[in-house]
């Protein structure tokens, strides 16, 4: 259902936004996370198992709180982007964007004409309240938040051109895949990876666009916010649950030993 984009307002005000990765596709977790006060939720359909109907249920659940619903697409397929926007995604994260041409194609797939080529069925889709908001199509291009991910050394070299594309609201540096692209998978704290990150940062800032990322060694969420990053997402639902369950089992271990 259409509503003002909280995340876009936070970023426009120059404030850092805090989000969480939701990979399990469970609507109740989206509801809990939104009520907890996150600025945005990333429904991760790149690495998570959720179907489109499950994603819609999570969108509905998230509207219990203020959190903006950001869907990470599994790729750059314009047909998928059209469907997830019609379903009510308030923000889109698109992985592995390596050129300005790819970024322009993403934006075009997400915007109604004349700014893009998104297919029109506004009076019938969930995004407009199934037609309850007759002005949805007129507002959709401005309200949608489009985030593209730089996740390779090739993309880092093209960062300024990617960020400069009209319609790209924010560039998210994916440090895990970026480290893998230069043969250092799982080592985002290495100096070689940091050099690629700094290259990408410089390009995005030169284009005047805000940055997003995840924490890495030596750069906590708070420290990244102080560095000027505006969109930050650290924990994932699966990891948070695993940590809580592991701690619970560990806390009960003395009772097991006594037995």
The string of pLDDT tens digits covering residues 189-232 is 999 999 999 999 999 999 999 999 999 999 999 999 999 999 99
Check residue 258 and give its pLDDT: 67
- Compute, in degrees rounded to 10, the torsion defined by CA atoms 183, 22, 139, 103: 10
Positions of the chain with pLDDT lower than 70, given as ranges: 1, 258-259
Check residue 8 and give its pLDDT: 95
Sign for the CA dihedral angle at 92, 42, 44, 165 comes to positive
**Mean model confidence pLDDT for the chain:** 96
Check residue 158 and give its pLDDT: 98
The domains of the chain, with CATH numbers, are: 6-258 (3.20.20.60)
Beta strand extents in 159-230 (DSSP E only): 170-173, 211-213
Before 114, cis peptide (omega within 30)? yes
Catalytic residue status for 47: yes
């Amino acid at each position: 259902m259409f509503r003002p984009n909280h995340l876009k307002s936070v970023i426009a005000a120059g404030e850092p936004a805090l989000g969480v990765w939701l990979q399990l596709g469970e609507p109740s977790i989206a509801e809990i996370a939104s009520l907890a006060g996150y600025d945005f939720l990333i429904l991760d359909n790149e690495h998570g198992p959720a179907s489109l109907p499950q994603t819609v249920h999570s969108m509905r659940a998230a509207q219990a709180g203020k959190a903006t619903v950001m869907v990470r697409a599994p790729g750059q397929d314009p047909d998928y982007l059209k469907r997830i926007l019609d379903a009510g995604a308030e923000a889109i994260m698109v992985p592995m964007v390596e050129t300005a041409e790819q970024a322009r194609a993403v934006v075009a797939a997400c915007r109604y004409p004349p700014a893009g080529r998104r297919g029109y069925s506004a009076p019938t889709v969930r995004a407009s309240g199934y037609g309850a908001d007759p002005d949805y199509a007129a507002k959709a291009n401005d309200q949608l938040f489009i985030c593209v991910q730089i996740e390779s050394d090739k993309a880092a070299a093209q960062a300024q051109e990617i960020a400069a594309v009209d319609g790209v609201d924010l560039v998210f540096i994916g440090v895990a895949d970026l480290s893998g692209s230069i043969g250092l998978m799982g080592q985002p704290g290495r100096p070689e990876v940091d050099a690629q990150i700094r290259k990408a940062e410089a390009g995005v800032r030169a284009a005047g666009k805000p940055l997003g990322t995840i924490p890495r060694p030596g750069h906590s969420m708070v420290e990244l916010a102080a560095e000027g990053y505006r969109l930050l997402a650290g924990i994932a639902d699966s990891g948070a649950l695993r940590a809580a369950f592991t701690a619970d089992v560990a806390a009960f271990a003395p009772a097991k030993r006594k037995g």
